[in-house]
Amino acid sequence: MIQAKDVAAAQRRLRGVAFRTPLVPCPGAGGERRLFFKPENLQPTGAFKLRGAYNKISSLGPEERARGVVAHSSGNHARAVAYAARALGVKAVIVMPHNAPKGKLDATAALDPEIVLVGPDSGERARKAEELATEHGYVPVPPYDDETLIAGQGTVGAEILEDLPGVETVLVPVSGGGLISGVAAAIKLARPDVKVIGVEPELAADARESLRTGRLAEFPAEGVSRTVADGLRVRKLGDAPFEHVLAFVDDIVAVTEEEILDAMRRLALRVRLVAEPSGAVTFAAHLFHRHELPDTRQNVAVISGGNVEPDLLAEVLAGNGRKTPGRRP
């Protein structure tokens, strides 16, 4: 598992590359239950993934960089790897699902990596990336199951502690587990008393089941693919993240599709923060699942990304936040 020194090393590598996102107070959330947002949607690539991708690629030696890197992703990790690779002068090959959101696919393509399209299953993406690494010698840059990458994501937690020393609870989105692993480790290694709570969609609540049973759970692809939170459509935690989740995460709660979209709308209209569905899950938990969260005064919700499809955002803003635009039955 990662140590505090690994997160500190990542902070040094990321200085001047990743934006140190501020803590934004939530309007109306004062008194006995204050809430701050950590808006990772403000990163150059629109999501936290830049931290881990750059930390991983910049830590490679000259021979590894010369071989190039390969990654698989539905969007945000793809864009982050392409961005980091171009900044470091490294060839990048990205495996993406053919049904990836058009905005994320186009943004990744604009950074000039080689893109390989496959089916919608995350397992298929992983297998194709492994095949390309074996065939061409590319260095894999996994989306979450890698300790160097986890340490990069952990810089989010380190910044929260530095900017809000009195923080008591931190809410973090959960997909493959890289973000929550890094954030939880960075926080718990320094402040074991701070509660770290993961949040994921009910349709993809494998991490909650894994934490509560102590066994790595895997959800079927056809169920996971139904959530509007495309960045959280992962069937199971990675092995390294699962180890970190068991060691450092206090609990994981699940939110509904309607709650996610309502939170998106409120973030945009009241806080002036544009969050993709995956990034809005933490605010959804704060709004609708307070009975499952610690009763603490100083709280932070990580907004993991803001790369939302324009059509979906328009539908959410035009509606009442209680419908699920574009979701398959």
Question: pLDDT, tens digit, for every residue of 96-125?
Answer: 988 888 888 999 999 999 999 998 877 888
User: What b/e sequence results for 79-90 when a residue is b if at least 16 CB atoms lie within 10 Å of its CB, and e otherwise?
Assistant: bbbbbbbeeeeb
- The pLDDT tens digits for 5-43 are 999 999 999 999 999 999 999 998 767 899 999 999 999
- DSSP bridge partners of 198: 172, 252
How many residues comprise the chain? 329
Residue 327 has pLDDT above 60, yes or no: no
The mean pLDDT of the chain is 93
Model pLDDT for residues 127-143, shown as the tens digit of each residue = 999 999 999 999 999 99
Residue 292 DSSP symbol: G
Q: 49-140: same fold as 4-45+146-318?
A: yes
| CA 52 remoteness from chain centre | 10
**Domain 4-45+146-318, classified CATH 3.30.2130.30, yes or no:** no
Residue-wise pLDDT tens digits, 278-322: 999 999 999 999 999 999 999 999 999 999 989 999 999 997 444
Domain spans of the chain? 4-45+146-318, 49-140
Q: So what's the pLDDT on residue 30?
A: 66
Q: Which residues neighbour 150 within 8 Å (Cβ) at sequence distance 6 or greater? A: 2, 52, 144, 178, 181, 182, 185, 240, 241, 244
What's the pTM?
A: 0.93
**Partners of 24 in beta bridges:** 37
Contact between 110 and 307 (Cβ < 8 Å): no
Q: Which CATH class is domain 49-140?
A: alpha beta
What pLDDT is recorded for position 221? 78
Measure the CA–CA gap between 92 and 78, rounded to whole angstroms.
10
The pLDDT value given to residue 102: 87
Which pLDDT does position 328 carry in this prediction?
32
- Catalytic residue positions, numbered: 49, 304
Residue with tokens 């990336």: 129
- C-alpha 77/C-alpha 71 separation (Å) is 8
Confidence at residue 322, expressed as pLDDT on a 0 to 100 scale = 43
CB 161 within 8 A of CB 300: no
